[in-house]
A and B are shown apart, each in its own frame.
Chain A
Amino acid sequence: MATIYIDGRAVEARNGENLLQACLEAGTDLPYFCWHPELGSVGACRQCAVKQFQNADDKRGRIVMACMTPATEGAIISVDDPEAKEFRGEVVEWLMTNHPHDCPVCEEGGECHLQDMTVMTGHRERRFKFDKRTHKNQDLGPLVKHEMNRCIACYRCVRFYRDYAGGEDLGVFAQHNNVYFGRYESGTLESTFSGNLVEVCPTGVFTDKPFSKVYSRKWDMRGAPSVCQHCSVGCNTILNERAGKVRRTLNRYNEDVNRYFLCDRGRYGNGFVNAPSRLRSAGYVMDGQMTPVPVAQALEQFAAFAKDGPIVGIGSGRASIESNYALRRFVGADNFSTGWAEPLHGAVTRAVDILRTTSARVMPLHEMESADCVLVLGEDVAATAPRLSLALFQTRRTACNKLADKNRLPHWLDAPVRTLGSDLKAPIHVVTPAPTDMDVSATQALRALPDDIARLGFAIANRIDGAAPAVSDLTEEETARATALADALLVAEKPVIVSGTQYASTALLDAAANIAAALVTQGKAAGLTLVLPEANSFGVATMGGLSLDAVCERAQAGQVGTLVVMEADLTRQLDASAFDTLVRSVRHLVVIDHSVTPTAERGELVVPATAFSECGGTMISMEGRAQRFLQVVYPEAPLQVSWRWVRDFAHASGHEGVLDWETLDQAVAATAAGVPAFARIVEAAPKADYELEGEHIRSQTHRVSGRTAIRANISVRDIPPPTSPDTPLKSDMEGTYTTDMPATLIPFYQVPGWNSVQSLNKFQQEIGGELRGGDVGVRVIGERGTAGYAGVAPARMALRENEVLLLPEYRAFGTGETSMWSDPIKARATEAVIRVGGDAPVARVSIQIGAEVFDVPAVNDPALPLGVALCPPHMVARSYEAPCWVTLRTISAEAAA
């Protein structure tokens, strides 16, 4: 800690931070543009000027850039100094000389950092009488809109896109007053993190394109804290709503997980909640015709079904833990299924088992950023958990920072630190069957088949600690690889092993766990991360249940009267014939879901559930972090959260007393009591009766407009604002809102004078540190387990003569379930193509998966061995059992002209 003096006030500054950070942390409003808490300082905008004095006798002082000056012990600065003030005013005035007269038609308006800073510096009158420089815009694809005239050349965009996220197709062109930030030519931004430009850019150059189509000003939207549903990372988000519709998704700061950035699937994948694919009324199938029925009738129908034999329930990794527990409690633990078919069921169960018991540390994303060696074992992280790949990429920055320490440079001094490490690669070793997006930044990328990767993993563990299971008949190459990787891990202090369920291989998971455990025996602060298939897979697997195969068997044996499928699409797990057999062999199929899935289309009784934007619940991420999402929309009947449907079904079928929950708090408490592993989920967020300073927290800004007009076309009479027993947030503008609110209840970021997302600084205890409102989520796993080594190395994978090994090629855009009901992601996803190993050119193949034959475009990929092909799961065949052997025939070798 250093003491510095800001305008005569002594404040504590953290060691090694700069004056701008110190000022902001001390609550002083100092304008800035180019500094970003995660990207550091470059001193490009000259906006953060302050006066620094040599000592108490120095009356003249000199102007310095606060963001480029370390906060050293005893530093004396003045923010209010007239000369510094004038300097800052002039900087804004000069930035404004070319600024278009656009605010009314600018998506940034009302949450624009440039507007805020202009007001803060007091510039109000244009004196510049000459012409403005203009730019042409580019079409950057379906996600990000470009309006270059509004640029102030702060360089934040390229620093995020290129330096932080490793993207290459956004750059800066031209020179001096004309600098241009864009692509070489119009085209979709390639990075999976392009959406962050919207928040990183302090002006309206990069704005959210899908949001612009349903635009609303920030002050007009209700906000609620939410959790991303599109992968197991569990990034924190803010959902914005107006007039009953979700308008956009923003990043919500969680110091341990996503911090300042989201991936594009999370930001743009939530459109499904408004999509036409939504189910909005209960339906009953009579004579092959779906008829909408009132709720009472649907429940009566269910009661009738319930008399026809045992009820089996299928839960889902995309439903909340409360809904899953409700279903399990209703049907009984023996009749509850996780919704995964084998081998995925076994793999996820094993993965969660490992995570709960491993002796290595299951690290949150931010902790992994400072790893000094990362081994990615058979998981295409960039596709299955995009934000994780971004976190792993930051290990490169950590390496740069080490160099900086040697040269006694502060970490925030972006350009010099980056230059120092310009030759560094990220200390990442990727071993996957197919090329991944992480390969470019990685130190090395090795290719092997899934079982061979597992063998390699076992061999590495055995190298590190001889007590770990050994692998027989290793080839020389395998031994060399294992030795090299083991050595790399052993020189590291904080090695991290990353794997996952992509290839549904328990051997692979065991191998990863063994390496991590072996490293722990060598005294390393080793970390382990296993990527799971869905947002709440951790929760479902912890509860446990039957696999889908077991359910199918039971059904065929005639032991299933009614099958209740909750928020799951079985056609993604079972192939067409298996699904058909299942549906035929159960007497009744009841589906609870928010969207019309192919499973719902076959249901006899279908009831509409709320989407995650319309209800509250808890999700458990891959690191065992239980996080609560709250509703932002107040849905109209008959939509209700899945657990309420289950409860109503239970009551209708005469099972009173099993499930008497009325509110989310009761559901959470019952789940925590019912599943010992979840005892802590009650702490994930405050209860619905939570009050701060005697008031509820409001979810609207105090200047929300149109309250007496927005539904006046329906009825001119005013109605009271909606209420819900499930959220501590009030739906309207009345209530309290402070920067000290519990971190899990922050509905939006805004403080007087700071209307943009930059106001986040005011919600943190220190820049980039914990939120003032405390923890974000609780971990349901202990610090460290005691599990030893497990598993045996599989035999080497032999390729077959007449069949091709089909491996799943996950994609950030395209293979997700709910995200593909969102238009922006659909537009961003590219066509399904089979990548065939070997050198022979192919353009179209016919491929037989199970009983079905598909005719699909294909390309050859020399990086893959002959006899292996990659197929994006769910995009060709709906279901996908991975990996599998298929017959593949080339239809044409050359693309039709």
Chain B
Amino acid sequence: MFGIIRTIWMTFLHLFHKNETVQYPEQKPYLSPRYRGRIVLTRDPSGEERCVACNLCAAACPVDCISLQKGERDGRWYPEFFQINFSRCIFCGFCEEACPTYAIQLTPDFEMAEYVRQNLVYEKEDLLISGPGKVPDYSFYNVSGLAIPGKGKGEAEHELAPVDTHSLMP
């Protein structure tokens, strides 16, 4: 008996609380940058595609909705195609967590509804943005040992100049 009265009383009190309802879409709620919405592919500080087509995001994805094919240009790996089937995506963020290059990132945009399911298949053109997203400075090739145009062997961070195999010096 007491419980019922208490419940009615508490519900009554809510009349005087601040209203939480947002007048969406006229009014947009604040979503923090770490919100897990629409997935993007970012670029590194020099403006090159960050994704190296390592396939780790695809492997991490619990619903298997990412698919891509590795390509190679001047020693850089990149995805020839990169497909995300958003009609399957559960926005878990595992891909972002798996990505060793900060290429794939989830954004605070959730407005992706479509009338036709096929339109939820995003290609690389739809995913690739022009900036570095949430991680402004990182460039994978600055730490990896692969040579790419503008960064030869021994020129990455913490690397010595390549060994001269003809030298007899210890």
Q: Across the interface, name the chain B residue whose C-beta is closest to A128.
A: B158
- List, in ascending order, chain A residues with CB within 8 A of B166's CB: 173
What's the least CB distance linking A824 to chain B, in Å?
A: 16
The answer to whether A104 touches B64 (Cβ under 8 A) is no
- List, in ascending order, chain B residues with CB within 8 A of A182's CB: 165
What's the least CB distance linking A599 to chain B, in Å?
A: 35
- List, in ascending order, chain A residues with CB within 8 A of B64's CB: 704-709
What's the least CB distance linking A205 to chain B, in Å?
A: 11
Q: Across the interface, name the chain A residue whose C-beta is closest to B116.
A: A716
CA A647 to CA B29, docked complex, whole Å: 68
B45 interface contact, C-beta 8 A: no
Q: Across the interface, name the chain B residue whose C-beta is closest to A132.
A: B159
B160 interface contact, C-beta 8 A: yes
The answer to whether B146 touches A135 (Cβ under 8 A) is no
A408 interface contact, C-beta 8 A: no
- List, in ascending order, chain B residues with CB within 8 A of A105's CB: 52, 54, 77, 140, 144, 146
A133 interface contact, C-beta 8 A: yes
A109 interface contact, C-beta 8 A: yes
A59 interface contact, C-beta 8 A: no
Q: Across the interface, name the chain A residue whose C-beta is closest to B68.
A: A706
The answer to whether A213 touches B165 (Cβ under 8 A) is no
The answer to whether B145 touches A134 (Cβ under 8 A) is yes
CA A109 to CA B59, docked complex, whole Å: 13
- List, in ascending order, chain A residues with CB within 8 A of B53's CB: 215
The answer to whether A178 touches B163 (Cβ under 8 A) is yes
CA A864 to CA B146, docked complex, whole Å: 48
- List, in ascending order, chain B residues with CB within 8 A of A103's CB: 54, 100
B7 interface contact, C-beta 8 A: no
Among listed A3-11, A216-224, A262-270, A770-778, interface-contacting one: A216-224
B121 interface contact, C-beta 8 A: yes
- List, in ascending order, chain A residues with CB within 8 A of B58's CB: 220, 705-706, 709
> Which residue from B65, B158, B164, B170 sits with its C-beta under 8 Å from A131?
B158
What's the least CB distance linking B67 to chain A, in Å?
A: 3
The answer to whether A709 touches B54 (Cβ under 8 A) is no
- Per-residue CB contact flags for chain A residues 183-220 toward chain B (1 = under 8 Å, else 0) read 00000000000000000000000000000110111011
The answer to whether A130 touches B153 (Cβ under 8 A) is no
> Which residue from A110, A130, A705, A708 sits with its C-beta under 8 Å from B85?
A708
B105 interface contact, C-beta 8 A: no
A713 interface contact, C-beta 8 A: yes
The answer to whether A709 touches B144 (Cβ under 8 A) is no
B87 interface contact, C-beta 8 A: yes
B106 interface contact, C-beta 8 A: no
Q: Across the interface, name the chain A residue whose C-beta is closest to B63.
A: A708
A51 interface contact, C-beta 8 A: no
> Which residue from B63, B68, B87, B160 sits with its C-beta under 8 Å from A716?
B87
The answer to whether A102 touches B146 (Cβ under 8 A) is yes
B-side interface size class: 35 or more
B21 interface contact, C-beta 8 A: no
B101 interface contact, C-beta 8 A: yes
CA A49 to CA B158, docked complex, whole Å: 30
Decide yes or no: A709 and B65 within 8 Å by CB, A104-B56, A132-B159 being known contacts: yes
A127 interface contact, C-beta 8 A: no
Q: Across the interface, name the chain A residue whose C-beta is closest to B84.
A: A709
Decide yes or no: A104 and B66 within 8 Å by CB, A109-B54, A134-B161, A713-B121 being known contacts: no
8 Å CB interface, B37-90 against A: 52-56, 58-59, 61, 63-70, 72, 77, 81, 83-85, 87-88
B136 interface contact, C-beta 8 A: no
B118 interface contact, C-beta 8 A: yes
Decide yes or no: A712 and B83 within 8 Å by CB, A104-B56, A132-B160 being known contacts: yes
Decide yes or no: A213 and B72 within 8 Å by CB, A135-B153, A709-B83, A709-B84 being known contacts: yes
> Which residue from B56, B154, B167 sits with its C-beta under 8 Å from A134?
B154
The answer to whether A712 touches B55 (Cβ under 8 A) is no
- List, in ascending order, chain B residues with CB within 8 A of A289's CB: none
A-side interface size class: 35 or more
The answer to whether B160 touches A134 (Cβ under 8 A) is yes
Interface residues of B, dominant DSSP: loop
- List, in ascending order, chain A residues with CB within 8 A of B156's CB: 100
What's the least CB distance linking A627 to chain B, in Å?
A: 32
The answer to whether A716 touches B55 (Cβ under 8 A) is no
B109 interface contact, C-beta 8 A: no
8 Å CB interface, A331-383 against B: none
What's the least CB distance linking B152 to chain A, in Å?
A: 9
What's the least CB distance linking A770 to chain B, in Å?
A: 34
8 Å CB interface, B3-56 against A: 52-56
- List, in ascending order, chain A residues with CB within 8 A of B77's CB: 104-105
CA A102 to CA B64, docked complex, whole Å: 24
CA A174 to CA B59, docked complex, whole Å: 40
A730 interface contact, C-beta 8 A: no
The answer to whether A706 touches B66 (Cβ under 8 A) is yes
The answer to whether A176 touches B54 (Cβ under 8 A) is no
- List, in ascending order, chain A residues with CB within 8 A of B154's CB: 134
- List, in ascending order, chain A residues with CB within 8 A of B61's CB: 705-706
What's the least CB distance linking B138 to chain A, in Å?
A: 12
CA A715 to CA B162, docked complex, whole Å: 49
Decide yes or no: A102 and B85 within 8 Å by CB, A180-B165, A212-B72, A713-B123 being known contacts: no
Q: Across the interface, name the chain A residue whose C-beta is closest to B164.
A: A174
- Per-residue CB contact flags for chain A residues 82-118 toward chain B (1 = under 8 Å, else 0) read 0000000000000000001111110001100000000
What's the least CB distance linking A179 to chain B, in Å?
A: 9
Decide yes or no: A220 and B55 within 8 Å by CB, A101-B145, A149-B145 being known contacts: yes
Decide yes or no: A178 and B144 within 8 Å by CB, A132-B160, A709-B85, A716-B117 being known contacts: no
What 7 A-B pairs have minimum CB-CB distances, sorted nearest first? A100-B145, A706-B67, A104-B54, A709-B67, A705-B58, A149-B145, A707-B64
B residues adjacent to A (C-beta < 8 A): 52-56, 58-59, 61, 63-70, 72, 77, 81, 83-85, 87-88, 100-101, 117-118, 120-121, 123, 140, 143-147, 153-154, 156, 158-167, 170
A residues adjacent to B (C-beta < 8 A): 100-105, 109-110, 130-137, 147, 149-150, 173-176, 178, 180, 182, 212-213, 215-217, 219-220, 703-710, 712-713, 715-716
Given contacts A104-B56, A174-B163, A709-B88, list 9 more A-B pairs with CB under 8 A.
A100-B146, A132-B159, A147-B145, A180-B163, A705-B58, A709-B64, A712-B85, A712-B121, A713-B121
Q: List 17 A-B contacts (CB under 8 A).
A: A104-B101, A105-B77, A132-B159, A134-B154, A134-B160, A137-B153, A149-B153, A173-B165, A175-B170, A180-B163, A180-B165, A216-B70, A219-B59, A709-B66, A709-B67, A716-B118, A716-B121
